[in-house]
Amino acid sequence: MKSNSRNALFVIAVLLGCALLWEALTRLFKVPVFMLPPPSAVLVAMKENPSIFVYHATYTLESTLLGFALAVVLGVVLAVAIVQSRLVERTLYTVLVSLNSVPKVAVAPLFILWLGTGIEPKIAIAAMIAIFAIVIDMVHGLKSVEPEMLDLGRALKGSRLKVLVKIQFPHALPSLFSGMKVAISLALIGAIVGEFVAAKRGLGYLILLSQGQFDTTTMFGAIVILALLGIVLFFIIDALERLALPWHASRRQEGAVAVVP
């Protein structure tokens, strides 16, 4: 615990140091605000007009979360199907891996064409980018069950469903969570990509809009909020993991636990 909070303090100190340096350099060299605004100006802009940022951030958050949820549900279903059948594995896995090698940003305009300019294409793009992390980690988790454990299930004459529900699935949960940690950041990227292509709302749209108006300060405000969103979402998943898998979390920190009385 002690080293944890010290670590957090260190990170904050480094970030503050960077901001101060940035502030000092912009003032010292009199960098024009439309090129690089000082952090103080960004903060002032965010404070003066918070409703704009909230308005756009909630939209981005919504498409991120919905896309992420879609990716988790679909990804888990796909992973289970892949593990259950050799045929599905050989076909689906091949398709997924080849699809994954296509730069997904490149197909984003297609989704706009298919789904219009509402929130649906943003959700779809977020899900598409995030799903691979889920599928790959979940398949790995389901497959890494010890063979003896499966023998045990067979010796008990358990149906495949029982083995899946009682042994494989819980065993794969830690992998699913590590996939989800990657996927949540990817979903945020997907949402922004969707907003870049065509949108009337969202932080991605706000960035494009303020770029057109040379309002670099607002752009930086949106970027700062995006960074914060990414960090907060990641730590929410991390906290959920600790809640859902106490047996796993405590195993990971075996060394650290002993220190706490």
Partner 1 sequence: MSLVGPSGCGKSTFLRCIAGLERISAGVLRVDGRTVSEPPDKLGMVFQRDVLLDWRTVLDNVLLPIEFRDLPRSTHEPRARELLEMIGLAGFEKRYPWELSGGMRQRVAICRALVDDPSLLLMDEPFAALDAFTRDELNLELQNLWLRSPKTVVFVTHNISEAVFLGDRVVVMARRPGRVEAVLDVELPRPRPLAMRDSPEFVAHAARIRALFETLGEFRKSAR
Interface contacts to partner 1, rule CB under 8 A: 146, 148-149, 151-158, 162, 166-167, 170-171, 173, 245, 247-248, 250-251, 254
Minimum Å gap between C-beta 159 and partner 1 is: 9
- Least separation in angstroms between residue 164's CB and partner 1 is 12
Q: Which is nearer to partner 1, 48 or 151 (CB)?
A: 151
Burial class (CB in 10 A: 0-12, 13-18, 19+), 75: buried
- Toward partner 1, which CB reaches closer, 42 or 164? 164
The Cα–Cα gap between 79 and 183 comes to 15
Sign of CA dihedral 168, 183, 239, 120: negative
Q: 137 or 195: whose CB is closer to partner 1?
A: 137
Nearer to partner 1, 232 or 257 (CB): 257
DSSP string, 190-201: HHHHHHHHS-SS
Q: Report d(CA 21, CA 196) in Å as an integer.
A: 31
**Of 224, 148, 136, 141, which Cα lies nearest the Cα of 182?**
136
| Alpha-carbon span 128 to 70, nearest angstrom | 9
When the beta carbons of 49 and 253 are compared against partner 1, the nearer one is 253
